[in-house]
Structure 1
Amino acid sequence: MVNLFLSGGGDKEQTEIIDKEFVRAIDLNKPLLYIPIAMHEEIPYKDCYTWIHSVFNPLGITEIEMWTDLEAKSLEDLRGFSSIYIGGGNTFYLLNALRETGFGKVLKEYVDKKGIVYGGSAGAIIFGRDILTSSHMDPNHTNLKTFEGLNYLQNYSIWCHYETSNDDLIKEYVYKYGISVIALSEETGIVMSEDTVKLIGGSPAYIFRNRDKDVVKLNEEIQ
């Protein structure tokens, strides 16, 4: 069973292939839970809610509930949902909120119990080993001190919105921290099932490890 979908953070046209595969994996008789809090003070939540409907209503998801406060939420609160969609924005703010509210532990338990989660951009980066792959685009306004992600991807960190102009920054990150990176363009996503990670979407991904850069083709497993 596939239970983790991560995308490079494109618009709905760019992520359509990934979105459709996600929709096929979930129970459309249950509502989708949308968590847009990474957009805190960037885009109004009501605009985020309009956007998520514009993405998934045409694909058959008509009932969407939005949470903007994760305080005191439990695994039991998640049982009525088909899945969780965690949107993009500021990765540092998102990880800090998950820690401060305790929802990060709930989310890990949900994933470990085969709950289905889709993360886009910041919502994807938090599932890697370390979130400093976002530091070139996200300011750390929260003064977060430790940057470990949820680490579901074989000890890889995730780099979203990848362009070839990012190569030197990625290589510098790999050299400095000794952590390998999966780089996803805005048309690219990965799906995780058990311990298998497979590439989907419209463009290849790239693996940066040591001083090497290797291409991962569509439908290929990431080793």
Structure 2
Amino acid sequence: MKVFLCGGGAGIQTVEANKRLNEVIDHSKPCLYVPLAMERTMYADCFEWIKGELKNVDIPYIEMVNSADELAAKNMNDFGVIFIGGGNTFKLLHELKASGAFEKIKEYLNSEGVVFGGSAGAIIFGKDLEACKLDDANEVNLSDINGFDLLDGTSILCHYTNRTAEEDEKARQYLLEVSKHRRVVALPEEVTLFINGENLEVIGNRPYFLFENGAIITQNEE
């Protein structure tokens, strides 16, 4: 299992993460891009974005799905990496679960697949979506908000410390309260956590933050 959990950055923020991705993928296979967290009207723009974002990753081409049903019908083992982009996390998880693609992604990971998740695409790999309720509206009325839980019971929040001071403080207070009942890892846009089998690698030169028992712990400081 190889999963990149990106804090939501792009461009210069993700150069090192993309370099690491390039080291672990099968270069003979294409990338499958999943923009489902965004509204469908944005998919064309999303495809242009991902082509630029992965321009230095050695892949034959990028294929984009336009629906969760299309994703569920794919043979995911045909792809060297599945890239799941950002947007509304509740919309994304709802569509993955309703279509059966959620279980297909599990199977892909269990067969040594590689996934790169950015923002919403990273948050779904945590314990649940509780930490992102501050950012995302649950307009799809998703009741089962449990994610893939790849971090041993830890939920994920992205874009942490990349917003205004007021927004960052609001997020900090929210996570201090939420963490009384669960662990939360808060990732800046410049940080990517790479789950490489049993190992966890930190890519990026900024600290990330662990909230637990109503307290905050700063990680990977110099």
Q: Which residue pairs with 1:88 in the alignment? A: 86
* AA of the residue aligned to 1:14: Q
* AA of the residue aligned to 2:47: Y
Q: TM-score, normalised by structure 2?
A: 0.90
Change (3 A) 1:72 1:87: closer
| Aligned equivalent of 1:167, options 155, 164, 172 | 172
Q: TM-score, normalised by structure 1?
A: 0.90
**Uncovered stretches (5+) of structure 2, i.e. residues with no partner:** 162-167
Displacement after TM superposition at 1:130 (Å)? 0.8
Contact preservation (8 Å) 2:127, 2:149: yes
1-side partners of 2:214 and 2:113: how far apart? 36
1-side partners of 2:74 and 2:121: how far apart? 22
Query: What secondary structure, in the 3-state scheme, does the structure 1 residue paired with 2:203 have?
Result: strand
**Uncovered stretches (5+) of structure 1, i.e. residues with no partner:** none
State the identity as a percent: 36
Q: Which residue pairs with 1:36 in the alignment? A: 35
Displacement after TM superposition at 1:74 (Å)? 5.1
Query: What secondary structure, in the 3-state scheme, does the structure 1 residue paired with 2:55 have?
Result: helix
* AA of the residue aligned to 1:85: F
Q: CA RMSD in A?
A: 1.9
Q: Which residue pairs with 1:63 in the alignment? A: 61
2-side partners of 1:61 and 1:53: how far apart? 11
Contact preservation (8 Å) 1:153, 1:197: no
Contact preservation (8 Å) 2:72, 2:99: no
1:207 corresponds to 2:220 = no
Q: Which residue pairs with 1:16 in the alignment? A: 15
2-side partners of 1:198 and 1:157: how far apart? 17
Change (3 A) 1:72 1:46: closer
* AA of the residue aligned to 2:174: L
2-side partners of 1:39 and 1:74: how far apart? 18
1-side partners of 2:194 and 2:94: how far apart? 25
2-side partners of 1:62 and 1:103: how far apart? 24
Displacement after TM superposition at 1:179 (Å)? 0.9
Structure 1 runs (4+) greater than 4 angstroms displaced: 72-76
Q: Which residue pairs with 2:165 in the alignment? A: none
Comparing 156-165 and 98-107, the one that deviates more: 156-165
Q: Which residue pairs with 2:195 in the alignment? A: 192
1-side partners of 2:145 and 2:156: how far apart? 13
Contact preservation (8 Å) 1:131, 1:157: yes
Q: Which residue pairs with 1:131 in the alignment? A: 129
